Structure 1
Amino acid sequence: MTLQSDRAGQADQTGQGGPARLAAEGAQGGRCEPGARQGSGRGADRIAALVREVDPGAGWAVGGVDGPDAVVEPGGRAIAPDVAGLAGVLAVWPVIGMLVDAGELALHTPLTAYGAADGLPAGITAHHLLTHGSGVSPALVGLAERLCGSPLAGFAADRIWGPLGMTRTGPDADGTLRAPAADLGRFLSHLLAPTGGGPVSRAWTAQSLRIRTGELLPARGLLWHPSAHGSWSHGEGPALWVSPRAQRWAALLPTTPSAPLRTAFREAAFT
């Protein structure tokens, strides 16, 4: 999935290096993001050793409600990694949540009521699309943009990423969404925040991180899938996990998608 926005490159003009640029301290060698807590707390050293052995160029972050325990940016990259596979939860999901919270969208109302059901089966709803297992439907993106009245990436930048301090998250020139590990940590920390303020409401997170498919298998939430240790996940390459029960989150940015690394990283992060 790609996100187009006329905001691409604006940060370059302000001297911040653009949303796709990594800060110099994290762009080489997989060094830890300044300000992130480091050390053996919550198994950070063990996770670092695991990732180094399997994929030394990967980026990752782990933390909890108070923020990161450790953040390691991908090594040897001049720009932030491609996180297009996470665009569903970084852009579409929070924007849909805002629309639901504002009463502008009802998940079980057919999309025909919003003029956004072209080419879809009769009676299809946003709930159907959010619990579908094959990725984010273009119809869901179109629905969000229709109700927001603006391109999704621009709206997400103004209403989601900016308020959360995700200043290096955004689409590059060809529309591919890019983000550093530190920004993913800011997003996930917000999902566990104990207060009700911020762009993603606690009510929307609670609605999404529960089984929404009844007895059907595989079980799914709203763009999030149940995972081990009470966590919920999204992504098969770049991947995110969040566990309200454990008050814990994790993000992995591999150089090459690897199911064994993803499983081992999740186990190390949540046990």
Structure 2
Amino acid sequence: MTTQTDRLAGLLLSADAAWAVGDAHGTGDAGAVGAIRQDTPFDVPGLAAVLAVWPAVGHLVADGALRLHTPLSAYWDRHHPPAGTTAHQLLTRTGGAERPDAVLGDLVEHLTGRPVHAFAAEHVWRPLGMTRTRPTDGPDPVLRSTLDDLGRFLHHLCEPAGRPVPRPWITDSLRIRTGELAPARGLVWQPVARHEHRHDLWYHADAAGPALWIAPRERRWAALLTRTPALREPFRALAFPGERDSRR
């Protein structure tokens, strides 16, 4: 019988890629094809929003240092987007501000006194054992991570534990926060369109290829490291069989 592992390996055979699928108990299936291995540091700048900014903002909200619907001008006046813009609007991409993740990163630095990557490293990555997730050196740092570290992160999001990423923050983020607006969004995470209009599979992707998925009700997750964005949809279909995506 052909296993899910075989099907995933067959899909990725023609491209450099590393992948993992798991649940609240840990990694179920994982593999790598080509030059990318499970422990290969991989540039994932597009995932910084969910690996660094999102949990850092969640900590500030949980600690009462930030309110999502309060205009950012109430917190700092060095620079901020148009008057009235809130963290909620930036997290849902509804505020009209350019580079919302950069603005949120600046806000985290202002409120904590530390760069967002340093805050995430202390409060999220190290507690989860994500020892190989870090920005590169140099004037324009880029976030790097490994498949193993991404699996640790997603595994934690499926657990009932309240820290290091606060459980209420995870729950609040993985629900529609944009009403009838299209595209529908949670907080940083975006739902995969499904039949029967259900929204319980969420994703965050890097335009260059890497992507993360989480199904909170089923406590299942998947991660893909690749430089071939076209692989994301067929990979997702195999990792979450029975899902149908009408948008990606």
Q: TM-score, normalised on structure 1?
A: 0.78
Equivalent position amino acid for 1:192 in 2:
C
- Structure number with higher strand proportion: 2
The reply to whether residue 129 of structure 1 matches residue 90 of structure 2 is yes
- The RMSD of aligned alpha carbons is 2.0
Which residue of structure 2 aligns with residue 86 of structure 1? Answer: 47
Moved more, 105-114 or 246-255: 246-255
1:265 to 228, 235, 247: 235
Unaligned runs of 5+ in 1: 1-38
1:80–1:231 distance in 2 versus 1, CA, 3 Å: same
1:113–1:119 distance in 2 versus 1, CA, 3 Å: closer
1:212 to 165, 177, 183: 177
1:194 Cα deviation from its structure 2 partner = 2.2
5 Å-filtered alignment, 1:32-71, equals 40=3, 43-53=4-14, 55=15, 57-71=16-30
1:190–1:112 distance in 2 versus 1, CA, 3 Å: same
1:101 to 62, 66, 73: 62
- Secondary structure at the aligned position of 2:13 is classed as helix
In 2, are the aligned partners of 1:74 and 1:253 still within 8 Å (CA)?
Answer: no
The reply to whether residue 227 of structure 1 matches residue 192 of structure 2 is yes
In 2, are the aligned partners of 1:73 and 1:181 still within 8 Å (CA)?
Answer: no
Which residue of structure 1 aligns with residue 102 of structure 2? Answer: 138
1:228–1:46 distance in 2 versus 1, CA, 3 Å: farther
1:49–1:131 distance in 2 versus 1, CA, 3 Å: same
1:256 Cα deviation from its structure 2 partner = 2.8
In 2, are the aligned partners of 1:225 and 1:232 still within 8 Å (CA)?
Answer: yes
Cα deviation digits, residues 87-128 of structure 1 (max 9, x gap): 000000000000000011000000011015725211000001
Equivalent position amino acid for 2:228 in 1:
T
In 1, are the aligned partners of 2:5 and 2:30 still within 8 Å (CA)?
Answer: no
Report % sequence identity. Answer: 52
1:225 Cα deviation from its structure 2 partner = 0.3
1:95–1:116 distance in 2 versus 1, CA, 3 Å: farther
Unaligned runs of 5+ in 2: 195-199, 242-248
Which residue of structure 2 aligns with residue 12 of structure 1? Answer: none
Cα deviation digits, residues 43-71 of structure 1 (max 9, x gap): 22221221124x2x111111011111123
In 2, are the aligned partners of 1:240 and 1:250 still within 8 Å (CA)?
Answer: yes
For the residues of structure 2 that align with 1:81 and 1:74, how far apart are their CA atoms? 14
In 2, are the aligned partners of 1:88 and 1:223 still within 8 Å (CA)?
Answer: yes
- Secondary structure at the aligned position of 2:148 is classed as helix
Which residue of structure 1 aligns with residue 226 of structure 2? Answer: 254
Equivalent position amino acid for 2:87 in 1:
A
- Secondary structure at the aligned position of 1:186 is classed as helix
Q: TM-score, normalised on structure 2?
A: 0.85
1:145–1:125 distance in 2 versus 1, CA, 3 Å: same
